[in-house]
Chain A
Amino acid sequence: MEGKPVKIVVYHCKNLRLFKDGEQKVFNRKWPGLSLVSIPCSGKVEAHHLLKTLAGGAQGVLILACAESACQYLEGSARSRKRVDYAGQWLQKVGISPERLDFVRVPPMDRVALENLLREFTSKIQSLEVIPAIAKA
């Protein structure tokens, strides 16, 4: 990864099977600043999770979902898309670029696609102004 590392959180549906046991930690080491969070379904992520993640210091949040037709919870992937859009509207209201959130449907087990996505997303986030961190009391 080029440039200064930025804190990015990736919520990924566990049904994408991107990592086998223990692989996630190894992958994380390659990407400083990156936090990978495995979730039961992308539909589990709601707007308040995304805003809280950003308010907690992340500079960008990426949601990786299954194809709509492949969603094991039938409508999780579709609902997730709407929630990310809704969270984006909130970001716009508070004057923060909605580009800090991205929702991508990726093929299962495709680590190459994931790395390409991360490179692209990271460089986009690096080009944005940093959200100041909450000052410690």
Chain B
Amino acid sequence: MIVATLKEIDEIRKMIDRYDSVLVVGCDSCVAECAAGGSRETMLLTAALKLSYLKDHKNPTITEAVLDRQCVDDFIDQIADQAPEHDAILSLGCGAGVQALARVYRDKPIIPALNTLFIGETVSRGVWQENCLGCGNCKLGYFGAVCPVTRCSKKLMNGPCGGSKGGRCEVNPEIACGWDMIIRRLDALGELDRLTEYVPPCDWSTSHSGGPRKVIREDQQP
């Protein structure tokens, strides 16, 4: 899932202060799972904004709505009636959601309320961990399903750097050594032999460096 965090309210206020009415739109997918932009957070931010304006003796119209997914047009349609009634939309979606809203509502300013951080997983309650960089060339099969591109601070593809201590990374002891995890996991699976194969350096041409990526599937198109 996409992991994000809410922006500070001062930054949000600075961006929306110029509007008389704002539609706060949450997204009940990834950003709900990471407790940043789901129904609860949408209600929380709306109430916080109202209190913040009340304190300043201002009274803009702030309405809330939550979409099942902010990055799919079929779901964006759910706010088709509300959007025209507001001067701007404050999106609690990830960067993709914000841009999808902007594509659909061309005449409406779309303001992000979140900082989109990474692709990750919920490792425990209240803890989200980055574990995929979206490099476009997945080699997890070689590494016991532990990604060296994301989990190794130096992105090494053919073994540890030698700087880790007690399974902790020398870059930051709070980070578990990616290669320690790879070796332990492959050892437990009895598949350490996978590491005898040379893995070439990551091909970054499939990552962000070539500009925005696109997947086109004719079989999925109308």
Contacts and interface: CB of A to CB of B under 8 A. Distances in A.
Nearest to A54: B51
Interface in B22-55: 40-41, 43-44, 47-48, 50-52, 54-55
B44 A55 contact: no
B9 interface: yes
B59 A55 contact: no
Interface string A49-62: 00110110000000
Interface in A81-137: 90-91, 93-96, 131-135, 137
A46 B52 CA distance: 19
Contact of A94 (B48, B57, B59, B61): B48
Contacts of A137: 61
Interface residues of B, number: 17
Q: Is the interface of B mostly helix, strand, loop or mixed?
A: helix
A94 B43 contact: no
B186 to A, nearest CB: 37
B8 interface: yes
Q: Chain A CB within 10 Å — which of B8, B54, B59 has the most?
A: B54
A94 B40 contact: no
Nearest to A87: B44
A55 B50 contact: yes
B55 A131 contact: yes
Given A46-B40, A48-B43, A90 B48 contact: yes
A134 B50 CA distance: 8
Interface of A: 46-48, 51-52, 54-55, 90-91, 93-96, 131-135, 137
5 contacts: A51-B44, A94-B9, A94-B55, A132-B55, A134-B59
